[in-house]
Amino acid sequence: MASLLLIQVISTTYFKMETKSKESYLLFKLQDELFAVSVHKVLEIIETGEEHTITALPKAPEAISGVVNFRGNVIPVVNTRLKFDLVDYSENEKFVVIVLSLNFNNQDNIIGAQSDKVVDVIEISEEEIKPVPEVGQSYNSNYIHGVIHRNGKFIMLINLEEVMASREIIELQKIASEVKETLEP
């Protein structure tokens, strides 16, 4: 009996750090590229419409499309297409907002990221993740922390913290094509 508590203490103290080698990732699309972000960072996916309208924020910094009411809080929505130097959404184009909890600038930030659509949730094992090749100086490889190859497609594991903390517009297309070129068999 007495040992029960001791075991409990030991186990809570020492074995909590155990991690699974497989992790779930949310797969989403931006134009033709596939990206994945760990589901642990995703709080919710918002369909924009009646209930959730993005309120434009006048004089907002670049690539911020506005703010949205998320569970009573007001969170900024990042126009990922603009952030990645892609063509902006046209007026009636549909999109979803992925609400993420990201830690950058030393604090937890809840932000929304516009995305064309979410595709799937997939399990990715650590061995499957290929490191980003070091070739090519034209992009900052900090933005992508790995690439996986599934069903003949490349999926990029995006380092959203870096992306959001950075003030610059990131030339995603370039990064994507360069990564692919170097990895293409």
Partner 1 sequence: MFNETFTAVFNQKYDNIIFSMSVNDISKFRDLFIDEATNLLNSMESILLQLEENPQNIDLIQEVFRVMHTIKGVSGMYGFDAISDLTHNTENIYDLIRNGSLTLNKEILDNTLIIVDQLFALLKDEKVQNKEIAELQKQLISWCNKVVNSSKQPKPKVAVNINEGSPVTYNVIFHAHQQIVDRRINIFYTIKDLADIGEIRSINSLPVIGDEEERWSIFVVGHFNQMDIEDALMFVFEYCIIRKVADFDIFDTEEMDKNRIALLSEEDIPQITVPQKGESISCKPSHEIAQPQLSNTESMIASIRQNMNRVAVDSEKLDYLMYLVSELITTSSQLNLTSHEKGLERVRPQIEKLDKLSKQFRNNALDIRLIPIRDMVPKFNRLVRDISNNLGKEIEFVTEGMETELDKSSIDMVAEPLVHMLRNALDHGIEKPEEREEAGKDSKGVIRLKAYNLGNNIVIEVSDDGKGINRQHIITKGMEKGLIQSGDNLSDKEVYNLMCEPGFSTAAEVTSISGRGVGMDVVKQKIAEMRGELDITSELGKGTTFTIKLQQSIAILDTLLVRSGTMKFLLPLSDVEICSQLPYQSVESRIKHSTIDFEEELVPFVSLRNLFGLNGQKNKMAKMILIKKNNSKFAVFADEIMGQHQAVLKPMGELVKSHEEISAASVLGNGEVAFLLDTNSINQNLYTKAV
- Is 45 a binding residue for partner 1 by CB under 8 A? The answer is yes
H/E element holding 25?
A: strand 22-30
Q: Decide if 172 contacts 30 (C-beta within 8 A).
A: yes
Q: Where are the alpha helices (DSSP H) in 109-168?
A: 160-165
Count residues contacting partner 1 (CB under 8 A)? 54
Question: Is the Cβ of residue 123 or residue 181 nearer to partner 1 in the bound state?
Answer: 123
Cα pseudo-dihedral 142, 151, 40, 64, rounded to 10: 60
Q: Decide if 160 contacts 149 (C-beta within 8 A).
A: no
Pattern 73-112, partner 1, x by CB under 8 A: xxxx-x---------------x-x-------xx-x-xxx-
Please, what is the minimum distance in Å from the beta carbon of residue 178 to partner 1? Answer: 27
- Is 60 a binding residue for partner 1 by CB under 8 A? The answer is yes
DSSP state of 137: S
Identify the CA nearest to 66 among candidates 46, 85, 86. Answer: 46
Question: Is the Cβ of residue 58 or residue 152 nearer to partner 1 in the bound state?
Answer: 58
CB under 8 A: which stretch of 16-24, 129-137, 141-149, 155-163 binds partner 1? 16-24
Q: Where are the alpha helices (DSSP H) in 15-100?
A: 80-83
The residues binding partner 1 (CB under 8 A) are 1-2, 4-6, 8-9, 12-13, 16-17, 24, 26, 39-40, 42-47, 51-53, 55-61, 64, 67-69, 72-76, 78, 94, 96, 104-105, 107, 109-111, 117-118, 120-121, 164
